[in-house]
Amino acid sequence: MRMAGEVSLDRDHSDYILVRDTIRFISERWRDQPELETIAAAVGTDAGHLHRLFTRWAGLTPKAFVQALTLDEARRMLDQSSSILDTAYEVGLSGPGRLHDLFVTHEAMSPGAYKARGAGVTIAYGFHNSPFGTALVMATDRGLAGIAFADPGEEQKAFRDMSARWPAATYVQDEVVTAPYARQVFDPTVWSQDRPIRLVFIGSDFEVRVWETLLRIPLGKATTYSDIARHIGNPNAARAVGSAVGRNPLSFVVPCHRVLGREGDLCGYHWGLTRKKAILGWETGLARRLGSAEVERG
Protein backbone atom coordinates (compact mmCIF):
# COMPACT_ATOMS: atom_id res chain seq x y z
CA MET A 1 0.00 0.00 0.00
CA ARG A 2 1.45 3.36 -0.99
CA MET A 3 1.46 6.41 1.23
CA ALA A 4 0.16 9.67 -0.21
CA GLY A 5 3.69 11.07 -0.28
CA GLU A 6 4.92 8.08 -2.28
CA VAL A 7 2.20 8.58 -4.88
CA SER A 8 3.19 12.24 -5.14
CA LEU A 9 6.86 11.37 -5.61
CA ASP A 10 5.95 8.84 -8.32
CA ARG A 11 4.12 11.57 -10.19
CA ASP A 12 6.96 14.03 -9.64
CA HIS A 13 9.41 11.43 -10.97
CA SER A 14 7.50 10.97 -14.24
CA ASP A 15 7.08 14.74 -14.51
CA TYR A 16 10.83 15.17 -14.08
CA ILE A 17 11.55 12.84 -16.99
CA LEU A 18 9.44 15.03 -19.27
CA VAL A 19 10.87 18.24 -17.80
CA ARG A 20 14.41 16.90 -18.12
CA ASP A 21 13.90 16.11 -21.82
CA THR A 22 12.35 19.53 -22.35
CA ILE A 23 15.23 21.33 -20.68
CA ARG A 24 17.71 19.33 -22.74
CA PHE A 25 15.91 20.24 -25.98
CA ILE A 26 15.70 23.92 -25.07
CA SER A 27 19.37 24.00 -24.01
CA GLU A 28 20.33 22.71 -27.46
CA ARG A 29 17.87 24.80 -29.49
CA TRP A 30 17.34 28.01 -27.55
CA ARG A 31 18.95 30.11 -30.28
CA ASP A 32 16.12 29.02 -32.59
CA GLN A 33 13.57 30.35 -30.08
CA PRO A 34 11.33 27.30 -30.63
CA GLU A 35 7.59 27.68 -30.13
CA LEU A 36 5.83 25.73 -27.39
CA GLU A 37 4.28 23.41 -29.98
CA THR A 38 7.73 22.58 -31.38
CA ILE A 39 9.11 21.82 -27.93
CA ALA A 40 6.11 19.68 -27.03
CA ALA A 41 6.40 17.66 -30.24
CA ALA A 42 10.09 17.08 -29.61
CA VAL A 43 9.44 15.57 -26.17
CA GLY A 44 6.40 13.58 -27.23
CA THR A 45 3.51 15.42 -25.63
CA ASP A 46 0.98 18.11 -26.51
CA ALA A 47 1.53 21.82 -25.92
CA GLY A 48 -1.31 22.21 -23.44
CA HIS A 49 -0.08 19.39 -21.22
CA LEU A 50 3.50 20.64 -21.33
CA HIS A 51 2.40 24.16 -20.43
CA ARG A 52 0.32 22.92 -17.47
CA LEU A 53 3.08 20.60 -16.31
CA PHE A 54 5.71 23.32 -16.25
CA THR A 55 3.40 25.69 -14.44
CA ARG A 56 2.57 23.10 -11.78
CA TRP A 57 6.04 21.58 -11.52
CA ALA A 58 8.11 24.77 -11.39
CA GLY A 59 5.53 27.49 -10.69
CA LEU A 60 6.58 29.14 -13.95
CA THR A 61 5.42 29.09 -17.56
CA PRO A 62 7.78 27.38 -20.02
CA LYS A 63 8.97 30.76 -21.32
CA ALA A 64 9.65 32.07 -17.81
CA PHE A 65 11.37 28.81 -16.93
CA VAL A 66 13.75 29.17 -19.86
CA GLN A 67 14.50 32.74 -18.85
CA ALA A 68 15.22 31.65 -15.29
CA LEU A 69 17.94 29.32 -16.56
CA THR A 70 19.80 31.86 -18.65
CA LEU A 71 23.17 33.31 -17.76
CA ASP A 72 21.56 36.72 -17.25
CA GLU A 73 19.29 35.24 -14.57
CA ALA A 74 22.26 33.65 -12.83
CA ARG A 75 24.05 37.00 -12.82
CA ARG A 76 20.89 38.70 -11.56
CA MET A 77 20.74 36.28 -8.65
CA LEU A 78 24.28 37.25 -7.69
CA ASP A 79 23.62 40.96 -8.20
CA GLN A 80 20.78 40.93 -5.65
CA SER A 81 23.36 41.10 -2.90
CA SER A 82 27.06 41.91 -2.75
CA SER A 83 27.31 38.61 -0.93
CA ILE A 84 24.49 36.13 -0.44
CA LEU A 85 26.48 34.47 2.33
CA ASP A 86 27.11 37.80 4.12
CA THR A 87 23.37 38.36 4.20
CA ALA A 88 22.68 34.81 5.38
CA TYR A 89 25.18 35.13 8.22
CA GLU A 90 23.69 38.48 9.27
CA VAL A 91 20.13 37.18 9.52
CA GLY A 92 21.10 33.87 11.08
CA LEU A 93 18.66 31.02 10.50
CA SER A 94 15.42 32.98 10.29
CA GLY A 95 13.14 33.91 7.42
CA PRO A 96 11.06 32.04 4.86
CA GLY A 97 13.88 32.09 2.31
CA ARG A 98 15.70 29.40 4.28
CA LEU A 99 12.89 26.88 3.69
CA HIS A 100 13.98 23.30 4.17
CA ASP A 101 17.52 24.36 5.13
CA LEU A 102 15.98 25.59 8.39
CA PHE A 103 14.91 22.07 9.12
CA VAL A 104 18.32 20.42 8.99
CA THR A 105 20.57 19.46 11.86
CA HIS A 106 23.95 17.91 11.24
CA GLU A 107 27.05 16.40 12.76
CA ALA A 108 30.38 15.26 11.36
CA MET A 109 31.66 11.72 11.57
CA SER A 110 34.81 11.52 13.69
CA PRO A 111 38.09 12.18 11.82
CA GLY A 112 39.15 8.63 12.66
CA ALA A 113 36.09 7.14 10.96
CA TYR A 114 36.70 9.26 7.89
CA LYS A 115 40.37 8.30 7.67
CA ALA A 116 39.36 4.65 8.03
CA ARG A 117 37.36 5.15 4.81
CA GLY A 118 34.12 4.14 6.48
CA ALA A 119 35.40 1.03 8.26
CA GLY A 120 33.01 0.03 11.02
CA VAL A 121 30.14 2.04 9.53
CA THR A 122 27.01 0.32 8.19
CA ILE A 123 25.19 2.28 5.47
CA ALA A 124 21.66 1.38 4.39
CA TYR A 125 20.77 2.42 0.85
CA GLY A 126 17.74 2.43 -1.41
CA PHE A 127 16.49 3.82 -4.71
CA HIS A 128 13.44 6.10 -4.70
CA ASN A 129 11.54 8.30 -7.12
CA SER A 130 12.14 12.03 -6.73
CA PRO A 131 11.29 15.24 -8.60
CA PHE A 132 14.72 14.99 -10.26
CA GLY A 133 14.88 11.37 -11.36
CA THR A 134 15.78 8.29 -9.36
CA ALA A 135 17.39 9.20 -6.04
CA LEU A 136 19.90 6.99 -4.26
CA VAL A 137 19.35 7.57 -0.53
CA MET A 138 21.97 6.41 1.99
CA ALA A 139 21.74 6.47 5.79
CA THR A 140 23.59 5.33 8.89
CA ASP A 141 22.04 4.74 12.29
CA ARG A 142 22.90 8.37 13.07
CA GLY A 143 21.15 9.98 10.10
CA LEU A 144 21.13 10.71 6.37
CA ALA A 145 24.61 10.29 4.86
CA GLY A 146 24.13 10.43 1.09
CA ILE A 147 21.85 11.59 -1.73
CA ALA A 148 22.70 10.93 -5.38
CA PHE A 149 20.76 10.89 -8.64
CA ALA A 150 20.54 8.53 -11.59
CA ASP A 151 18.80 8.34 -14.93
CA PRO A 152 17.02 5.06 -15.80
CA GLY A 153 19.48 2.19 -16.08
CA GLU A 154 22.27 4.06 -14.29
CA GLU A 155 21.30 3.24 -10.70
CA GLN A 156 24.25 0.93 -10.06
CA LYS A 157 26.63 3.46 -11.56
CA ALA A 158 25.42 5.99 -8.99
CA PHE A 159 25.82 3.43 -6.21
CA ARG A 160 29.39 2.63 -7.27
CA ASP A 161 30.18 6.35 -7.34
CA MET A 162 28.87 6.90 -3.82
CA SER A 163 30.17 3.69 -2.22
CA ALA A 164 33.67 4.42 -3.56
CA ARG A 165 33.77 7.43 -1.23
CA TRP A 166 33.67 5.15 1.81
CA PRO A 167 34.99 1.85 0.40
CA ALA A 168 35.49 0.13 3.77
CA ALA A 169 31.90 0.64 4.93
CA THR A 170 29.31 -2.15 4.99
CA TYR A 171 26.41 -1.56 2.59
CA VAL A 172 22.92 -3.04 3.01
CA GLN A 173 20.11 -2.34 0.54
CA ASP A 174 17.04 -1.54 2.65
CA GLU A 175 14.35 0.71 1.17
CA VAL A 176 12.31 0.39 4.37
CA VAL A 177 15.05 2.32 6.19
CA THR A 178 15.65 4.89 3.45
CA ALA A 179 12.05 5.60 2.33
CA PRO A 180 11.22 7.95 5.25
CA TYR A 181 14.33 9.98 4.45
CA ALA A 182 13.36 10.18 0.77
CA ARG A 183 9.95 11.56 1.65
CA GLN A 184 11.32 14.00 4.21
CA VAL A 185 13.84 15.34 1.69
CA PHE A 186 11.71 15.62 -1.44
CA ASP A 187 8.17 16.32 -0.21
CA PRO A 188 7.86 19.99 0.84
CA THR A 189 4.51 19.29 2.54
CA VAL A 190 6.31 17.41 5.32
CA TRP A 191 9.18 19.85 5.89
CA SER A 192 8.92 20.83 9.54
CA GLN A 193 11.11 22.69 12.00
CA ASP A 194 9.78 20.34 14.67
CA ARG A 195 11.09 17.31 12.79
CA PRO A 196 14.46 18.23 11.31
CA ILE A 197 16.41 16.00 8.94
CA ARG A 198 19.48 14.70 10.73
CA LEU A 199 22.56 14.66 8.50
CA VAL A 200 25.83 12.85 9.00
CA PHE A 201 28.82 14.38 7.20
CA ILE A 202 31.54 11.88 6.33
CA GLY A 203 34.46 13.90 4.97
CA SER A 204 37.65 15.75 5.80
CA ASP A 205 37.59 18.75 8.13
CA PHE A 206 37.93 21.10 5.15
CA GLU A 207 35.13 19.41 3.23
CA VAL A 208 32.79 19.52 6.21
CA ARG A 209 33.45 23.26 6.64
CA VAL A 210 32.54 23.82 2.98
CA TRP A 211 29.40 21.68 3.23
CA GLU A 212 28.28 23.51 6.37
CA THR A 213 28.70 26.81 4.51
CA LEU A 214 26.62 25.52 1.60
CA LEU A 215 23.72 25.03 4.02
CA ARG A 216 23.61 28.81 4.49
CA ILE A 217 22.76 29.57 0.85
CA PRO A 218 19.03 30.45 0.83
CA LEU A 219 16.71 28.69 -1.57
CA GLY A 220 16.27 30.71 -4.76
CA LYS A 221 19.69 32.37 -4.32
CA ALA A 222 23.23 31.56 -5.43
CA THR A 223 26.84 32.21 -4.46
CA THR A 224 30.33 31.61 -5.84
CA TYR A 225 33.27 29.38 -4.98
CA SER A 226 35.38 32.41 -4.07
CA ASP A 227 32.69 33.71 -1.70
CA ILE A 228 32.58 30.36 0.08
CA ALA A 229 36.39 30.35 0.34
CA ARG A 230 36.29 33.78 1.95
CA HIS A 231 33.68 32.68 4.47
CA ILE A 232 35.67 29.67 5.61
CA GLY A 233 38.65 31.94 6.21
CA ASN A 234 40.75 30.90 3.22
CA PRO A 235 40.08 33.37 0.39
CA ASN A 236 42.73 31.82 -1.87
CA ALA A 237 41.19 28.35 -1.72
CA ALA A 238 38.49 28.74 -4.39
CA ARG A 239 39.85 25.80 -6.37
CA ALA A 240 39.94 23.56 -3.28
CA VAL A 241 36.41 24.71 -2.44
CA GLY A 242 35.32 23.67 -5.92
CA SER A 243 36.72 20.20 -5.33
CA ALA A 244 34.93 19.93 -1.96
CA VAL A 245 31.66 21.10 -3.51
CA GLY A 246 32.05 18.44 -6.20
CA ARG A 247 32.49 15.77 -3.50
CA ASN A 248 29.37 16.82 -1.59
CA PRO A 249 27.68 13.49 -0.74
CA LEU A 250 24.30 15.01 0.13
CA SER A 251 23.10 16.50 -3.14
CA PHE A 252 20.02 18.74 -3.02
CA VAL A 253 19.90 18.72 0.80
CA VAL A 254 23.33 20.36 0.97
CA PRO A 255 22.72 22.72 -1.96
CA CYS A 256 25.90 22.54 -4.03
CA HIS A 257 23.68 23.28 -7.07
CA ARG A 258 23.40 26.88 -5.82
CA VAL A 259 27.11 27.56 -6.42
CA LEU A 260 27.93 29.40 -9.63
CA GLY A 261 31.12 30.44 -11.39
CA ARG A 262 32.75 33.83 -10.86
CA GLU A 263 30.88 35.31 -13.83
CA GLY A 264 27.56 33.79 -12.83
CA ASP A 265 27.79 30.80 -15.18
CA LEU A 266 26.08 27.60 -14.07
CA CYS A 267 29.30 25.51 -14.21
CA GLY A 268 29.10 21.76 -13.94
CA TYR A 269 27.23 19.47 -11.58
CA HIS A 270 28.28 15.98 -10.55
CA TRP A 271 24.87 14.54 -11.46
CA GLY A 272 24.47 16.44 -14.74
CA LEU A 273 24.04 20.09 -15.72
CA THR A 274 20.50 19.43 -16.99
CA ARG A 275 19.55 18.15 -13.55
CA LYS A 276 21.17 21.22 -11.93
CA LYS A 277 19.04 23.47 -14.14
CA ALA A 278 15.94 21.48 -13.25
CA ILE A 279 16.62 21.74 -9.51
CA LEU A 280 17.24 25.50 -9.72
CA GLY A 281 14.02 25.98 -11.71
CA TRP A 282 12.04 23.84 -9.25
CA GLU A 283 13.44 25.83 -6.33
CA THR A 284 12.71 29.14 -8.03
CA GLY A 285 9.07 28.17 -8.44
CA LEU A 286 8.83 26.86 -4.86
CA ALA A 287 10.42 30.00 -3.42
CA ARG A 288 7.95 32.17 -5.33
CA ARG A 289 4.97 30.11 -4.17
CA LEU A 290 6.07 30.14 -0.55
CA GLY A 291 6.91 33.83 -0.77
CA SER A 292 3.39 34.52 -2.02
CA ALA A 293 1.98 32.45 0.85
CA GLU A 294 4.00 34.52 3.33
CA VAL A 295 2.58 37.72 1.83
CA GLU A 296 -0.99 36.37 2.06
CA ARG A 297 -0.52 35.33 5.70
CA GLY A 298 1.04 38.69 6.48
| Catalytic annotation present for 267 | no
On the 0-12 / 13-18 / 19+ scale of CB atoms within 10 A, 112 is exposed
Report the interhelical angle of 47-58 vs 36-43 (nearest 10°).
90
Exposed e or buried b per residue across 21-47, where buried means at least 16 C-beta atoms within 10 angstroms of its C-beta: bbbbbbeeeeeeebebeebbebbeeee
Catalytic residue among 135, 256, 279, 280: 256
Q: Could you tell me how many residues make up the chain?
A: 298
Identify the sign of the CA torsion 289, 273, 162, 6. positive
CB neighbour list of residue 59: distance below 8 Å, 6 or more residues apart: 284, 285, 286, 288, 289
Q: In angstroms, rounded to a whole number, what is the distance separating the alpha carbons of residues 145 and 106?
A: 10
Positions marked active-site: 256
